[in-house]
Structure 1
Amino acid sequence: MITNKPRMMQSNRTGIFKRLLINTMLLMLCPMFAIAQQSDTQEWRVVKSKWGIEIATRPHANGYKYVRAKTKVHGSQTDFVKLLDNIEIGPDWIANCKKVELIASEGQSVRVVHTYFKAPWPVKDRDMVTRSNTVIDEHTGDITITVVDYGQNVAAADKHVRMEAVHGTWSLRTLAENEYELMYEGYGEPAGKIPLWLANQILVSSTFDTFVGIKKQLNLVSP
């Protein structure tokens, strides 16, 4: 019995050390979970409202911002889908867009698109690759387009920095006859060396300009 005591004491010390290690790791992780949860539950804050377009943001845990934009549009629900499908005029309404390329499509609803953006010197131009899925409610005609990052499947463009973690949702909801609410909620990281404040500032301005471009294409605004 006496000869087993050192082993028992060593085993106890090992068990205590493991428990302390686990508890320490949990204590270290708790603030991280709290920050993530806080950013997910924070309310949207309206940062711009003009020409019937409202832009709101809320913080991500890493300092970047989620963005939400919404406006009212009139006409046919399919007008917006046709606008998205016409990639040749993408630079006419997408802010800072140089070119849009259709890489692949699956039926009428799924598309993989490569979008190129110009940036002011000395910031490098950006590009992103996304996969979108369009769903049209057969009863209401409401449209939902889910966008996810697809950049890991396509080689980066020369002299461009690939944007990361891009995802979002477009929705077109019926308000009244021939009147709809167009909304976008999304997130993306510019990657590369751009200060957070500048990235978030560009996010707001480019989202607003894109919505102005949409309304111009639909002949709903003449700023």
Structure 2
Amino acid sequence: MNFKQKKDRGLVTMRIMIFFMAMMLTSLNVAADESWVLALDKDQLQIFTKTVPDSPFLAVKGVVKINATLEQVAASLGSDNECAKWRKMCKSTRVLARPGENERIVRMVIDLPWPLADRDAVNRIITERCGETGRVTLLIKSEPELYPDDDYIRAVSDGRFELSPISENATQFTFVMHTDMGGDLPADRINKRMPEATAEDLNRLRMLAEAR
């Protein structure tokens, strides 16, 4: 076997290895996605839930197609200094600090129905932009130790908002959130209502963005 044949065989072997590695990574990603359970699917909107270790509250993921530009959807999300019109459970919200150009710390008061006590949450929100795809991601990380307020039970909330352009006038919005409300709350009641409540929020966001 000459040098060229050895080189060609080596390239073929490498390509096969890369192919199988890619297949393994794809399988791992699919397995991770399978932990989400479809709870609702209608009008180009899907809601998924999944269990979270050491928490009685489910995580929720919503995926919706919005016939609006990414900029219109982003503008409809709100400013963080007032409750976004699409989030029904928001009682008040305020930016407490801006540690960086694409980073802010936001406090939100969550309006729960009587006789349940309202909660508050303090989150660090980091905005990331992908130049290649145009996708914008807002990473939401709970900061429960910051800015304590004895008037409220502190909730712990982590997740992300993802805006991905589908076309010039269409955007996919992905909402992922897990909130542990803390205190003595009936988790079963919250979990049962969560898919429909999330769908209502995302439908309101879609209407706001498409009306711009």
- How does the TM-score come out when normalised to structure 1? 0.72
Deviation at 1:90, TM superposition (A): 2.1
More divergent stretch after superposition (100-109 vs 190-199): 100-109
Q: State whether structure 2 residue 50 is matched by structure 1 residue 58.
A: yes
Aligned CA RMSD, in angstroms, stands at 2.1
Give CA-to-partner distance per residue, 1:16-63, whole Å, 9 cap, x none: xxxxxxxxxxxxxxxxxxxxxxxx785211112233321110112333
Establish whether residue 162 from structure 1 lines up as the match of residue 167 from structure 2.
no
Q: Distance in 2 between matches of 1:54 and 1:145?
A: 20
Q: 1:84 to 1:109 in 2, by over 3 A?
A: farther
Q: Which of 34, 43, 46 is 2:35 aligned to?
A: 43
1:117 matched to 2:138? The reply is no
Instruction: Please give the TM-score of this superposition, normalised by the length of structure 2.
Output: 0.75
List gaps (5 residues or longer) in structure 1: 1-39
Match of 1:95 in 2: 88
CA 126–50 in structure 1, closer or farther in 2 if over 3 Å, else same: farther
Distance in 1, matches of 2:42 and 2:83, equals: 22
Structure 2: unaligned runs, 5 residues or longer: 1-31
What is the distance in 1 between the residues matched to 2:69 and 2:52?
Answer: 35
Q: Which entry has the higher C-alpha Rg, 1 or 2?
A: 1
Distance 1:49 1:182 in 2: 15
Match runs of 1:1-223 below 5 Å = 43-62=35-54, 63-156=56-149, 158=151, 160-164=152-156, 166-219=157-210
The residue type paired with residue 68 of structure 1 is K
Cα pair distance change 1:202/1:91, threshold 3 Å: farther
Aligned length: 179
Query: In the aligned structure 2, how far is the partner of 1:93 from the partner of 1:212?
Result: 8
Task: Indicate the structure with greater helix content.
Answer: 1
Residues 41, 68 of structure 1: alpha-carbon distance in 2 compared, 3 angstrom cutoff: closer
Deviations 1:147-185 (A, max 9, x none): 000121111251x22102x21111112323322211012
> In structure 2, what is the equivalent of residue 14 of structure 1?
none
Q: Which runs of 4+ in 1 moved over 4 A?
A: none
Whether the 8 Å CA contact 2:67–2:210 is kept in 1: the answer is no
The alpha-carbon distance between structure 1 residues 216 and 41, as it changes in their structure 2 partners (threshold 3 A), is closer
**Larger RCO (CA within 8 A; separation ≥ 6):** 2
Q: CA deviation at 1:85?
A: 4.6
AA partner of residue 162 (structure 1):
R
